[in-house]
Structure 1
């Protein structure tokens, strides 16, 4: 069926081309003039029909000495670019240059193709050949800087960014890129300084604060990251991405209470963060606070699993054991760790037969070992109850 549809589409394109040819013949009142298939291809490219443009170009006579081969290969290269066939695009554009294409824009197209093919050295050479065109397009300088960076020619990359800043002083992409490059190079103080400058001078969005803050965080420059993210939290109070990154930056430093409080506040706008806030409070040892937040979690599986761990931490074994039916209904007993935790709660509540029933389901080697130890303790409790009081 798909093959038939493809054939029909092919026939429609041919009919379209033939129709165009017939209209040209009629318009010239029987004056024999060939269809300009290259012009037709150019129109199709402009209209976004790259596949049809290639079909039209197939009708061009490349043996005809009057054929403009430079234009032919340029059009063909652009069509392949639009179809993301970069290898074919490269070959066509190179042929355009060999056949006399003088327009420097051809090298811009080649630079884009080379970069897509990860040939960064050729990307740089093509941008150099583009000449004055580079000074008209900030993205080309950015592409050159990125190519140098990927070739690990860091000095040349930074110089390219400086060049971009000089030519396009109002375009802050170069300053932003330098922040990340300096962070990767381990020049954290310089990265932080440039990051603040970028955020101050540009109309920075929340994503900019997040990107720069996270770069500093990953570089373990936690205080600089916190300074930027705290500002972002004030400017974008409704963006939970800022809150999450800020919380995780505090977590990286072991400041659990600060992280939990930030997520708790963010959860007022995004309830999905409630579980994470409760979990961090649990890890911080604030079990009653964690249990309070746990009550509002909507995801039942997350809620019950977390509640079980909190109750065990509080040594409220009877309450934990009484969760058996809830754990069963939510399907959590398929989780071997949950089943062992329930068995432990039942054991601690001296409900040995029920505990044994759940231990029978353990297959995980480590949990099976722990289960065997629980069984041994249960036997001790039966024979020497005074040891289990």
Structure 2
């Protein structure tokens, strides 16, 4: 009997306990769920949870509620709603009552003397910093202003974004990236001087940050202040070893600004630092070609093609134009693009006067569809004319539709008639 009573008591205790816990189990913290949904990237679900938190009539932290909505709208690119939410979050934070955390029983750390035979016990209480609600309020508001500046920037309200960064106080000046954001806002608002000043102020606070100098370099370049741009670029390259592409960008900027000599100097330096960068050789070659230095250009193009065979065509073409046809043909032989290779080979054979070889690759011209190009068909017709195969020459000349080439073909056809009438005309 006693055993039954004990068993029944245990069952009744379990039921009472479950009933006592049931309301607690039904309490759902929608704010916490919304936070989880946000970090999982489920923004619509997060908004739904926030709405349920608002509708639950339970006490919620409105600063966190509005701040979370602002972040979600920012992610969803709904910038006006994001701005509105962050403003409400700031007001809610200003009105918030901060309560100190629940005091825990002070923990004692016991220190023992290694030289004491009795190991006397000394107690030292770990001291916590004093609770400062205004400090917490200030830090939270500054953080929201950082988010607000991002929303303003995305909404293209650039000066408002700057004001938000200023309102963020210490947090608005805590990272170099915030000064690049400030500068970009001023730049897009057409306040160029303020943009460069923002970068200069950032550089004083973060002297080791290279990105501030890099951005200043691009701004000076757009303002066509090339000497200042070069100085900024060199300072940037000292702090952070530049890659080949950054040298190329600097050279292109200088070239577009009419500073061709400076552009060449930059690329010559890049050639020494990055001897396997094909782009450096090719761009440098183009700049020398603009200065009527075709032989230097051809050599640079060939060196570039050693590191990227896609430049073989340009290298071979440059040698062909320089009259170095044997070397042009050698480079052409290494090309893998059959169509471009055949097309270029025709031009080289014409330069060498080897018309029989052009006729010899007729099948290749036809196979790659190159005879659909009137220039290629005219070259083949001309080759037939030069070897005195007049019937074949005329057959191809008749198919030419280009007006300018048709006029040239008319002259050749007249010459063919003369040759047929009097073979001595074509000796």
TM-score, normalising length: structure 1 = 0.82
| Residues 132 and 206 of structure 1, relative CA distance in 2, 3 Å threshold | same
Q: Give 2:131's aligned residue.
A: none
Q: Give 1:61's aligned residue.
A: 54
Kept after mapping to 1: 8 A contact 2:419/2:425: yes
Structure 2: distance between partners of 1:54 and 1:311 = 72
| Residues 316 and 133 of structure 1, relative CA distance in 2, 3 Å threshold | same
Structure 1: distance between partners of 2:308 and 2:215 = 32
| Residues 288 and 66 of structure 1, relative CA distance in 2, 3 Å threshold | same
| Residues 96 and 185 of structure 1, relative CA distance in 2, 3 Å threshold | same
Q: Give 1:16's aligned residue.
A: none
The partner residue of 1:306 within 309, 319, 344 is 344
Kept after mapping to 2: 8 A contact 1:111/1:124: yes
Q: Give 2:38's aligned residue.
A: 45
| Residues 46 and 306 of structure 1, relative CA distance in 2, 3 Å threshold | same
1:274-310: CA deviation from partner (whole Å, max 9, x where unpaired): 1121122223333332122111111111111111112
| Residues 388 and 103 of structure 1, relative CA distance in 2, 3 Å threshold | farther
Structure 2: distance between partners of 1:129 and 1:187 = 32
Task: Give 1:169 deviation, angstroms.
Answer: 0.2
Structure 1: distance between partners of 2:20 and 2:390 = 98
Structure 1: distance between partners of 2:362 and 2:19 = 85
The partner residue of 2:167 within 107, 122, 129 is 129
Structure 1: distance between partners of 2:263 and 2:333 = 33
Task: Give 1:141 deviation, angstroms.
Answer: 0.9
Q: Give 2:149's aligned residue.
A: 111
Kept after mapping to 2: 8 A contact 1:199/1:209: no
SS at match of 2:307: coil
| Residues 317 and 186 of structure 1, relative CA distance in 2, 3 Å threshold | same
Structure 2: distance between partners of 1:248 and 1:169 = 37
Once superposed, what is the RMSD of the aligned Cα atoms?
A: 2.9
Kept after mapping to 1: 8 A contact 2:302/2:312: yes
Tell me how many residue pairs correspond in the alignment: 365
Q: Give 2:321's aligned residue.
A: 283
Structure 2: distance between partners of 1:370 and 1:220 = 40
SS at match of 2:224: coil
SS at match of 2:357: helix
| Residues 355 and 77 of structure 1, relative CA distance in 2, 3 Å threshold | farther
Q: Give 1:13's aligned residue.
A: none
| Residues 47 and 351 of structure 1, relative CA distance in 2, 3 Å threshold | same
1:318 equivalent to 2:356? Answer yes
Structure 1: distance between partners of 2:410 and 2:155 = 58
1:260 equivalent to 2:298? Answer yes
1:79 equivalent to 2:80? Answer no
Q: Give 1:236's aligned residue.
A: 274
Structure 2: distance between partners of 1:374 and 1:148 = 66
Q: Give 2:132's aligned residue.
A: none
Deviates more, 1:181-190 or 1:373-382: 373-382
| Residues 117 and 366 of structure 1, relative CA distance in 2, 3 Å threshold | farther
Q: Give 1:35's aligned residue.
A: 28
Kept after mapping to 2: 8 A contact 1:339/1:358: yes
Structure 1: distance between partners of 2:23 and 2:257 = 75
| Residues 91 and 364 of structure 1, relative CA distance in 2, 3 Å threshold | farther
| Residues 52 and 233 of structure 1, relative CA distance in 2, 3 Å threshold | farther
| Residues 116 and 327 of structure 1, relative CA distance in 2, 3 Å threshold | farther
Structure 1 gaps of 5+ residues are: 1-24
Q: Give 2:187's aligned residue.
A: 149
Structure 2: distance between partners of 1:171 and 1:75 = 32
1:9-66: CA deviation from partner (whole Å, max 9, x where unpaired): xxxxxxxxxxxxxxxx999543376422222111232344434323433433269584
TM-score, normalising length: structure 2 = 0.76
